[in-house]
Chain A
Amino acid sequence: MAGLELLSDEGYRVDGRRAGELRKVRARMGVFAKADGSAYIEQGNTKALAVVYGPHEMRGSRSKALHDRALVNCQYSMATFSTGERKRRPHGDRKSSELTLHLKQTFEAAILTQLYPRSQIDIYVQILQADGGNYCACVNAATLATIDAGIPMRDYVCASSAGFIEDTPLADLNYVEEAAGGPQVALALLPKSDQIALLEMNSRLHEDHLEQVIEAASKACKDVYAVLDQVVRDHVHEVTTLLGE
């Protein structure tokens, strides 16, 4: 059996996108009323839900409180039905714990935590359907949810992945492309200032190519930013028109 051709000679990827194109992004903010902030995002077949509580008083052990800034508490989980085969545990495994840490780092860099000393911000994200780029979808969803919660941030945090196949950087990998085992870069960017909140790479990539791949990823992040920004503006517009009635 011949494996899948990830990038055809005509320049199309398995799902018909060109190398630099994103999957279709659809997002909504304020999906839950009870949480302080919430958002739902679809990036292709990857679907994620993010909920933000806070900033509020420290819960649980008060000793963890930071005297000069807020504590960002994250939890990443995957719904048991999110993958082709049913998952056993939604969270708590090594992979989830790692992604939880990544999320925490990302949002500590983006949220203006020093405004809320000795308090806590909770960000819960759940992957409802996994089809590649889980971390990126989570970051994007969490950004929207944080904005929905009204927590001040330096900038949007937009994340996108990029791979490198046949000397071409591919933006926003889907599951098939991820599973092929090539190099993969996940980038979380503060798009306006071009600051990198998190950069992670899997597998081996030649140093010479790194720049192009990061370039492709940051371009994708900025594309994501455009979409997210539109979503936020639409949401605000919707809310204000409702208030106006």
Chain B
Amino acid sequence: MLTSRTFLKRTRAGAVMKVVREHYLREDIACGAAACEQCGQQPGEPRLEAQPSGAASSLCPAPHYLLPDTNVLLSVITNVIVLQTVLQEVRKRSAPVYKRIRDVIANPEKHFYSFTNEHHRETYIEQEQGETSNDRNDKAIRVATKWYDEHLKKINSEETIQVILLTNDRNNKEKAVQEGLIAYTCEEYIKSLIANPDLVDRLACVSDEGKEIESGRIIFSEHLPLSKLQQGIKSGIYFQGTFRANRDNYLEATVWVHGDAEENKEIIIQGLKNLNRAVHEDLVAVELLAKDQWVAPSSVVLQDEGQNEDDDENEEEKENTLKSSVSKNMLRPSGRVVGIIKRNWRPFCGMLSKSQIKEARRHLFTPADRRIPRIRIETRQASTLEGQRIIVAIDGWPRNSRYPNDSAGDKETETEVLLLEHDVPHQPFSQAVLSFLPKMPWSITEEDMKFREDLRYLCVCSVDPPELENGNLEVGVHIADVSHFIRPGNALDQESAKRGTTVYLCEKRIDMVPELLSSNLCSLRSNVDRYFCMWYCHIVFLFKASLTYAEAQMRIDSANMKDNITTSLRGLNKLAKILKKRRVDNGALTLSSPEVRFHMDSETHDPIDLQTKELKETNSMVEEFMLLANISVAKKIHKEFSEYALLRKHPAPPPSNYDILVKAAKSKNLEIKTDSAKALADTLDKAESPEFPYLNTLLRILATRCMMQAVYFCSGMDNDFHHYGLASPIYTHFTSPIRRYADIIVHRLLAVAINADSTYPELTDKHKLADLCKNLNYRHKMAQYAQRASVAFHTQLFFKNTGVVNEEAYILFVRKNAIVVLIPKYGLEGTVFFEEKDKPKPNLSYNDEVPSLTVENTTFYPFDKVKVNVMLDASNIQHQKIRMALVEPKVRHRLYNAKQHIIQVS
């Protein structure tokens, strides 16, 4: 028999289309009961038992089959008839549940039978005018039950088998009873089961969830309109700030409040509902919660692993783990997002994680940046996109969706991803930019000579030797005059200002200025070229007076210090050491962070070896003079332009930042004083342990993590110039104009200060300068992240080639559910989790006072030596990440006796 289903559908373009589908009704669909002789059984299909033995129930002692409706299907027993109507509804609502049910149906021991009622001649019903599809489906379920009831009565056996409709919907049940069917709610039925009293426990949570799942379920509260937000911000109810998602925990974020509210600088936002659809970097309005709802920043590492958007049953559980056991003093101001002032969405890179249903068109996209939520993408080309890097843009985020919606995407290479993800401008320079480059071959003109001192007669070696003069030393630090080539305001200048810095990746360099400048005109090259370039250097500052301490010593050496370059270098080196000592005495910090260098295969560009970088003495020598040059330039430009000098500061970190360092050191019986930079430096120097030479480095690494970020600023906009790390009252960047834009500005300022160049309006506008500083700071930060990501990527490649290795490592931090370890050999940092999917949770207890984590019987303290197993985890969709697992000490898992439940569907 043939009917047709006609319905109206809205196309994606918005047009309404009439769709007519044929719908065949059949007479050959088996009922699935083994005892039934009327229906021919299809061989091999799991069928219902002839005499359903299943669970004995006090409500209906007779043998029976169960026929659950959609909401009940989660919790059922054996001999179950699953209607196609129900299955399809489940499929629409929840992919994971659908998959589980499919698995159960496929298992013949379960005696599940899926009855294709929609295509059965006697159980198909039409949707009536004005009837919702929900009502229609309920009716279809009842009709099918009725059919089964009558059908089973025809079986010739002494006891007829009953069919019981299970539904939690009161309406449905009433109607079913009116029609003479046997219908129970799930609760009634399970409570009546004689053999399994423990099932009722399972039921408790089921009935809680028994609330009607509506398709248009609202997860988030509505965003307030902009006008209301502005009102609220003005009156102080709401705070405006930048939303920063937590890298480690997707359920937590902080909002940096703009403005001057001192104590509420940072507001913590915890939980999906409070985050309210804000995405990293958005400008949001936040409402503070009442004090009793304040939370502490959690030290739990949580990753959004849910395969599908419907997996939010565990959500609450996860949110609860955040809240557990915090001491009162850890509580920070907490809030919730009430509205978005400005979205800061950009294209995101990442990968597609395919839905579990293979025909599905909606999939989730997992961005490369963990702070970005996963994005729902609608595509038919999932199989082509799978496994490829794609770029998506967010379209919108409706209230009822856990994830934002996206639009199309395409492929990019790995490095592209990295650069895009860190917002690094990496396109080739445009023609407009290149047109401002000097014409080659390039030579010096008379005009250029006017403001410059001719030093060609001097013997200048590239690591400039000292000259004796009036008993003082003059050390010239010669820096290529890039500002001569980059004139203010032109396209070249704008482009380099936008780029801000050169980005160094492992196998690639993204230049700030075109190559002609960076590696030709402004670099030291072979004899002739060098000669020209040196020429163009703006030389020179004298630090005669400052060298009094060194003077005496230098004089002694001066006897044999003639033109010989080697000896002069030696002298310089000595000088540098003196400078360094003085700096360290002032309280400059020597910190350390492990840096990794790769040996690349020359053909494939795959990393073949990996080692931590070493610093040579010459580095330190040059660095010393560079620092000195920077400091003296900073002094000079600040003296000349007290309002608009571009300087660099490094704010002292708040004392609380050091908590982790001090506590960790204490666990090793060391004391770290943090009241001043000097005290810190001294105690760090002393903090050594003979049997543990690496401890000092570890402490320094930890100390580095406590530091604030050094930033550029405009001297007219700030009054704290101090550079904490270098222990210098004033500092700027002057020495690398090829790779830092800040240096170019400083060059220009210096040129004006020594009357070598003229000024221009933007240079003396402190607001413009402050804006520029903001951009530079941002670019520097992003460049740093990109660099790190590049290293991480190459480390992955390296481990892909080497395979699994066991390495010694030290514990850097201890978290609530994981430890962060550092492998000195590779300078590699990683997190070791103790909870694994599909395994019983180990017993974890975290001690906040002495940071330590006890897993079962093993306790971990910071700096403990452990052995970890490093391998490449390619199973994850955001593919390949380095995974570490603990090898030594061994954590013994308690044997976990899972209760044998009959309900295994859940």
Residues on A lying within 8 angstroms of B by beta carbon are 1-6, 8-12, 14-17, 23-24, 44-45, 84-85, 131, 174, 176, 180-181
Identify which of B21, B42, B84, B359 contacts A2 (C-beta below 8 A).
B359
Closest Cβ–Cβ distance, residue B91 to chain A (whole Å): 5
Is B555 in the interface zone, CB < 8 Å from A? Answer: no
Which residue of chain A is the closest to B361 with respect to CB atoms?
A3
In contact, B17 and A84 (Cβ under 8 angstroms): yes
Residue of A nearest to B124 (CB): A16
Docked pose: A174 CA to B355 CA in angstroms? 25
Interfacial chain B residues near A180, Cβ < 8 Å: 359
**In the complex, A55 Cα to B357 Cα: how many Å?**
55
Docked-complex contact A3 and B116, CB < 8 angstroms: no
Instruction: Pick the residue among A5, A16, A85 that contacts B26 (CB under 8 A).
Output: A16
User: Is B105 positioned at the interface, with any CB of A under 8 Å from its CB?
Assistant: yes
* 4 A-B pairs closest in CB distance: A16-B119, A3-B359, A16-B24, A15-B22
CA gap between A15 and B124 in the complex, in Å: 12
Chain A binding surface, main DSSP class? loop
B341 within 8 A of A: no
Could you give 11 example pairs across A and B, Cβ below 8 Å?
A1-B360, A1-B361, A2-B360, A3-B360, A4-B359, A15-B24, A16-B25, A84-B17, A84-B19, A131-B22, A181-B380
Nearest residue, chain B, Cβ from A181: B380
Known: A3-B361, A9-B105. A14 touches B21 (CB 8 A): yes
Q: Which of B118, B360, B362 contacts A16 (CB 8 A)?
A: B118
The yes or no answer to B837 lying at the interface (CB within 8 A) is no
> Given known contacts A10-B116, A181-B380, is B23 in contact with A1 (CB within 8 Å)?
no
- Count B-side interface residues using an 8 Å CB cutoff: 35
The chain A residue sitting closest to B18, CB to CB, is A84
Which residues of chain B come closer than 8 Å to A14, judged between CB atoms? 21
Smallest CB–CB gap between B572 and chain A, Å? 70
Q: Given contacts A16-B23, A17-B24, A45-B22, are A6 and B2 in contact (CB under 8 A)? A: no
Q: Does B321 contact A (CB under 8 A)?
A: no
Q: Is B20 an interface residue (CB 8 A)?
A: yes
B767 within 8 A of A: no
Do residues A15 and B21 form an inter-chain contact, with CB atoms below 8 A?
yes
The answer to whether B114 has its CB under 8 Å from any CB of chain A is yes
Closest Cβ neighbor of A180 among chain B residues: B359
Residues of A within 8 A of B88 (CB): 5
Task: Give bound CA distance, A6 to B91, whole Å.
Answer: 13
- With both beta carbons as reference points, the residue of chain B lying nearest to A15 in the complex is identified as B22
B106 at interface, CB cutoff 8 A: yes
Closest chain B CB from A60 CB (angstroms) = 39
Which chain B residues border A85 with CB–CB below 8 Å?
15, 17
B881 to chain A, nearest CB (A): 30
Docked complex Cα distance between A113 and B669 (Å): 104
Q: In the complex the two chains form, what is the Cα distance from A46 to B710 in whole Å?
A: 72
Q: Are B116 and A2 in contact (CB under 8 A)?
A: no
Is B102 on the interface with A (CB-CB < 8 A)?
A: yes
Chain A residue contacts of B91, Cβ below 8 A = 2, 5
Closest A residue to B95 by beta carbon equals A2
Shortest CB distance A7–B (Å): 10
CB-contacts of B87-106 with A (<8 A): 88, 91-92, 95, 102, 105-106
Chain A residue nearest to B120 in the complex (CB):
A16
CA–CA, A15 to B361, complex, Å? Answer: 20
State the CA gap A15–B23 with chains docked (Å). 5
In this assembly, does B4 line the interface, its C-beta being within 8 Å of a C-beta of chain A? yes
Minimum CB distance partner of B17 in chain A = A84
What's the nearest-Cβ distance from chain B to residue A180, in Å?
A: 8
Closest to A176 in B: B21
* Segment 342-377 of B: residues with Cβ below 8 Å from A: 355, 357, 359-362
Residue of B nearest to A24 (CB): B2
A residues near B19, Cβ cutoff 8 Å: 84
Chain B residues with Cβ under 8 A from A24's Cβ? 2, 24
Cα–Cα distance between A4 and B91 once the two chains are bound (Å): 10
Are A45 and B20 in contact (CB-based, < 8 A)? Answer: yes
Q: Please measure, in the bound complex, the distance between the C-alpha atom of A216 and the C-alpha atom of B460, giving whole angstroms.
A: 88
Q: A16-B25, A16-B26, A16-B118 provided; 10 other pairs, C-beta below 8 A?
A: A1-B360, A2-B359, A2-B360, A2-B362, A5-B91, A9-B102, A9-B105, A9-B106, A10-B45, A15-B22
How far apart sit A4 and B357, CA to CA, in the bound complex (Å)?
A: 10
Smallest CB gap from A23: residue in B? B22
- Which chain B positions have C-beta within 8 A of A84? 17-19
Kindly report which residue of chain A lies nearest to residue B106, judged by CB atoms: A9
Q: A12-B116, A85-B17 are in contact. Are A44 and B22 (CB under 8 A)?
A: yes
Interchain CA distance A8-B359 in the complex, whole Å: 12
Closest CB in chain B relative to A79 CB, distance in Å: 15
A-side contacts of B360, CB under 8 Å: 1-3
Contacts of B380 in A (CB 8 A): 181
Q: Is the beta-carbon distance between A2 and B22 smaller than 8 angstroms?
A: no
Q: Return the CB mask of B1-27 against A: 1 if under 8 Å, else 0.
A: 010100000000001011111111110
Shortest CB-to-CB span from A35 to chain B, Å, is 29
Distance (whole angstroms) from the CB of B247 to the closest CB of chain A: 32
Which A residues touch B22, using CB under 8 A? 15, 23, 44-45, 131, 174
Instruction: Tell me the smallest distance from the CB of B821 to a CB of chain A, in Å.
Output: 42
Q: Chain A residues with Cβ under 8 A from B106's Cβ?
A: 9
Q: How far is the CB of B883 from chain A (nearest CB, A)?
A: 32
Q: Please, how many angstroms separate the alpha-carbon atoms of A155 and B32 in the complex?
A: 44
Q: Contacts A9-B105, A10-B116, A24-B2; is A3 near B357 (CB within 8 Å)?
A: yes
B19 nearest CB across to chain A (Å): 7
Q: How far is the CA of A131 from the CA of B17 in the complex (A)?
A: 14
Separation in Å of the A127 CB from the closest CB of chain B? 15
- List A contacts of B118 (CB < 8 A): 16
Q: Is there an interface contact between A131 and B119, defined as CB atoms closer than 8 Å?
A: no
A70 to chain B, nearest CB (A): 38
Query: Which residue on chain B has the smallest CB distance to residue A85?
Result: B17
A14 to B20, CA, bound (A): 13
Minimum C-beta distance from B354 to chain A (A): 12
Compute how far the CA of A24 lies from the CA of B22 in the bound complex, rounded to whole angstroms: 10
The residue among A1, A10, A174, A176 with the most chain B CB atoms within 10 A of its own CB is A10
Q: Which residue of B lies closest to A83 (CB)?
A: B17
Chain A positions within 8 Å of B378 at CB level: 1
* Complex CA distance for A6 and B26, rounded to whole angstroms: 17
Interface code B108-123, partner A: CB below 8 Å = 1, 0 otherwise? 0000001010110000
Closest A residue by C-beta to B93 = A2
Closest-CB distance, A241 to chain B (whole angstroms): 29
Return chain A residues, CB-CB under 8 Å to B361.
1-3
Bound-complex Cα distance A50 to B26 (A): 31
Complex alpha-carbon distance, A10 and B120, angstroms? 13
**Chain B residue with Cβ nearest A14:** B21
List chain B residues, Cβ under 8 A from A5: 88, 91, 357, 359
Segment 386-422 of B: residues with Cβ below 8 Å from A: none
Instruction: Report which residue of B18, B88, B114, B119 has the largest number of chain A beta carbons within 10 angstroms of its beta carbon.
Output: B119
A181 to B380, CA, bound (A): 9
Chain A positions within 8 Å of B119 at CB level: 12, 16
* Complexed CA–CA distance, A14 and B5 (Å): 11
Q: Chain B 794-816, CB within 8 Å of chain A: the 1/0 string?
A: 00000000000000000000000
For residue A203, give the distance in angstroms from its CB to the closest CB of chain B.
13
A23 to B4 alpha-carbon distance, docked (Å): 12
- With A45-B4, A84-B17 already in contact, the answer to whether A8 and B24 are too (CB < 8 A) is no
Chain A residue at smallest Cβ distance from B19 = A84
Q: How far is the CA of A111 from the CA of B548 in the complex (A)?
A: 113
Encode contact with A along B728-767: 1 for CB under 8 Å, 0 otherwise.
Answer: 0000000000000000000000000000000000000000
Q: Say how far B852's CB is from chain A's closest CB, in angstroms.
A: 47
Task: Give the Cβ gap from A194 to chain B, nearest Cβ, in Å.
Answer: 29
Residues of B within 8 A of A181 (CB): 380
C-alpha gap A8/B102 in the complex (Å) = 10
Beta-carbon nearest neighbor of B115 in chain A: A10
* Nearest A residue (CB) for B20: A45
Q: For chain B, residues 818 to 842, give those with C-beta under 8 angstroms from any C-beta of chain A.
A: none
B21 touches A8 (CB 8 A): no
A45 to B24, CA, bound (A): 12
- CB-contacts of B848-881 with A (<8 A): none
